[in-house]
Structure 1
Amino acid sequence: MIIERLLAKPSSSGGIRPAMRLMLLLLLGAIAGADSAGAQAPTSTIDRIRETGVMRVGYGTTAPFSFKETDGSIAGYSIDLCNELAGEIAGPMGVGTVRVEYVPRTPANRIQLLNDGDIDIECNASTSSPDRRKVASFAPPHFIAQTHFVTLKKSGIHTIDDLRGKTVSVVLGTVNVGQILQFSRDKKLGLAAVPVADVQAAFDLVEDGSVSAFAMDDVLLRSMVIRTGNPDDYVISDEPLGDPAPYGFMTRIDDPAFAALVADSLVRIYQGPKMMEIYDKWFMRPIRGGRYSLDLPMSDDLKAAMGISAR
């Protein structure tokens, strides 16, 4: 290394002056410290949970998967599964109990929170796509969704071609952004995408007539339309904007041990006696204080992905 060769020369033989030598020594120490910090692996999630007894769960604002109730509690299908997961991993980790701590996340910051170590697992409705699997690990699927769009019935928009030249809201950080733009390019629709921060805000733009449509996963569109109390005012497209895709809980990409523990534990939960009870609670029965029901039986594709025998 050039700096080390310079330091080896004594000043009496044409080497560097003492002041310069001190500066080079400080620089060399800084480089060594940086190399050491960069080489040091982050504390594993398993070790951190063992030490603290806490699993930090990222949650969203997307009922029925994860959301905050009016009383401030965090609830949802994904949350129930991750609460079960906390109990399931306690034994293999050699701890008595694992407490869940909820951390709010958005579609735009969820992966950053994971890889920065602010959350241990994201428990919501994140699509497992090829691009996302490059930056996060995905657990076995807990749902399968497909992108559609919603419009006001009075708009007269029913097909993808009807969207030609129209405005469509999308949520930043979701796969739906790329899907609607790809459709626009492929079919030369000339769509204008209107990006917003969260699902409800994107839906509100349709509700107040600011945009013509909102592209999002079918199950989330169904939930939002029903929650309006006036579902007949809306139309969810029959035509999909993409292939069916699985939702999976995300863990840090550089922590395969925790990802494997989560995967093994969830398979046991999926194939256990409480799985159908948890699913039916959120998709077949009245939720949110009995205000509405999604009436959405578990699909055969999801049963197959979970390893659940047809019943």
Structure 2
Amino acid sequence: MKKHLLVAIGALMIAGGAHAQDLDILGKIKSSGTIVEGVRESSGLSYTLGNGKYAGFHYDVCAHVISDIQKHLGLEKLTIKYQPVTSQNRVPLVSNGTVDIECGSTTNNEARARDVAFANTTFVEEVRIAVKKDSGIKSIEDLTGKTIATTTGTTSVQTLRKHKAAENVKFREVYGKDHADSFLLLETGRADAFIMDGSILAANIAKSRNPGNYAIVGEVLAVEPIAIMLPKDPAFKKVVDDSLKSLFETGELEKIYDKWFLKPIPPAGVVINLPLSQSTKDAWANPNDKPAEAYNN
């Protein structure tokens, strides 16, 4: 009986794998007249304004891409359905085709690429440390005996542990359910530092009650390519990559970047003040979908 059960389970797994490889996202979008966009509630690149409205750098990038998808499919109208995703559920929802295009702040890495595809890199992130200015923390070594906050479902603490300077550093970990919650742990003194992508740290500091109380300090822990996450459908990825190519070549992507990182943004009109990095410029000049491992080896 156990043998029959194992055979049945194996058959289901094979069928599930085959189904995942056979996703026809363009056909699904054309037949339904709807595209499901994965969005984040509190990311540095995609966040909510409330009442079902979203904004951010990656949100604007995806608006351009979705418009090009509509043109490619010859649709007079394409309805966008927004699906909020979290660090924990974003990969499964994209992998099984529930979400057609995820426009949050997801790192392209080898582990995730086994289940999903990534468009060409649109933002190269640096993982950093945010602290209160009066904390005395200036580097990784200063984290000894401290409490470190990060967000459930992200890889930041693992990245810290792999850093050479952290070999003998002992610290305690606490987890926020999302980035805003993780920053709240730092803000309320339940954590001494918040480890996360620099853009996310900068955005949360800019939106805090007292931005001047915080600083991003220490070594760059890792460099991570951020990209639009897609189901494994090569035809769909090509349409998305072709759309991004036009943004790279026309300079429109830099205008979108300036809008969200160097100018006042909604809802409070804060300025994140995060200049465009050379790594991001290079990714735009040489379009690629290389994973994080290619950057950090």
Q: TM-score, normalised by structure 2?
A: 0.85
Deviation at 1:91, TM superposition (A): 2.6
Sequence identity of aligned pairs in percent? 31
Distance of aligned partners of 1:273 and 1:147 in 2 relative to their CA distance in 1, 3 Å threshold = closer
Letter in 2 for 1:215: I
Task: Report the secondary structure of 1:69's partner residue.
Answer: strand
Asked whether the 8 Å contact 2:202–2:274 carries over to 1, the reply is: no
Q: Which residue of 1 aligns with 2:200?
A: 220
Structure 2: distance between partners of 1:299 and 1:181 = 25
Deviation at 1:160, TM superposition (A): 0.8
Deviation at 1:281, TM superposition (A): 1.3
Structure 2: distance between partners of 1:288 and 1:196 = 24
Letter in 1 for 2:220: P
* 1:157 corresponds to 2:137: yes
Q: Which residue of 2 aligns with 1:233?
A: 213
Distance of aligned partners of 1:56 and 1:224 in 2 relative to their CA distance in 1, 3 Å threshold = same
Letter in 1 for 2:264: P
Post-superposition Cα deviations, 1:20-53, rounded to whole Å, max 9, x if no partner, equal: xxxxxxx9xx99x969965566541010011012
Post-superposition Cα deviations, 1:225-281, rounded to whole Å, max 9, x if no partner, equal: 121142221121131222x2211000013x222122211221112323532322221
Aligned residue among 223, 226, 241 for 1:263? 241
Post-superposition Cα deviations, 1:60-98, rounded to whole Å, max 9, x if no partner, equal: 123541111145411111111111111112232232343
Asked whether the 8 Å contact 1:62–1:124 carries over to 2, the reply is: no
Asked whether the 8 Å contact 2:101–2:228 carries over to 1, the reply is: yes
Q: Which residue of 1 aligns with 2:279?
A: 301
* 1:280 corresponds to 2:245: no
Structure 2: distance between partners of 1:209 and 1:103 = 32
Task: Report the secondary structure of 1:145's partner residue.
Answer: strand
Distance of aligned partners of 1:294 and 1:181 in 2 relative to their CA distance in 1, 3 Å threshold = same
Deviation at 1:191, TM superposition (A): 1.5
Q: Which residue of 2 aligns with 1:252?
A: 231
Asked whether the 8 Å contact 1:86–1:99 carries over to 2, the reply is: no
Asked whether the 8 Å contact 2:141–2:166 carries over to 1, the reply is: no
Asked whether the 8 Å contact 2:48–2:55 carries over to 1, the reply is: yes
Asked whether the 8 Å contact 2:160–2:166 carries over to 1, the reply is: no
Asked whether the 8 Å contact 1:171–1:177 carries over to 2, the reply is: no
Q: How does 1:84-233 map to 2 (within 5 A)?
A: 84-183=64-163, 186-233=166-213
Asked whether the 8 Å contact 1:53–1:95 carries over to 2, the reply is: yes
Q: Work out the number of aligned pairs and report it.
A: 278
Deviates more, 1:182-191 or 1:284-293: 182-191
Asked whether the 8 Å contact 2:58–2:103 carries over to 1, the reply is: yes
Structure 2: distance between partners of 1:183 and 1:305 = 24
Gaps of 5+ in 1: 1-26
By relative contact order (CA 8 Å, sep 6+), the higher-ranking structure is: 2
Structure 1: distance between partners of 2:13 and 2:123 = 42
Task: Report the secondary structure of 2:199's partner residue.
Answer: helix
Letter in 1 for 2:239: L
Post-superposition Cα deviations, 1:173-215, rounded to whole Å, max 9, x if no partner, equal: 2121311233499522111121232111111111111111110
Deviates more, 1:64-73 or 1:122-131: 64-73
Structure 1: distance between partners of 2:103 and 2:88 = 15
Letter in 2 for 1:282: W
C-alpha root-mean-square deviation of aligned residues, in Å?
2.6
Asked whether the 8 Å contact 1:181–1:191 carries over to 2, the reply is: no
Aligned residue among 13, 23, 26 for 1:46? 26
Task: Report the secondary structure of 2:185's partner residue.
Answer: helix
Distance of aligned partners of 1:97 and 1:269 in 2 relative to their CA distance in 1, 3 Å threshold = farther
Q: TM-score, normalised by structure 1?
A: 0.81
Distance of aligned partners of 1:277 and 1:228 in 2 relative to their CA distance in 1, 3 Å threshold = same
Structure 2: distance between partners of 1:157 and 1:304 = 32
Structure 2: distance between partners of 1:34 and 1:226 = 48
Task: Report the secondary structure of 2:110's partner residue.
Answer: coil
Gaps of 5+ in 2: 287-297
Letter in 2 for 1:263: D
Asked whether the 8 Å contact 1:85–1:269 carries over to 2, the reply is: no
Distance of aligned partners of 1:234 and 1:119 in 2 relative to their CA distance in 1, 3 Å threshold = same
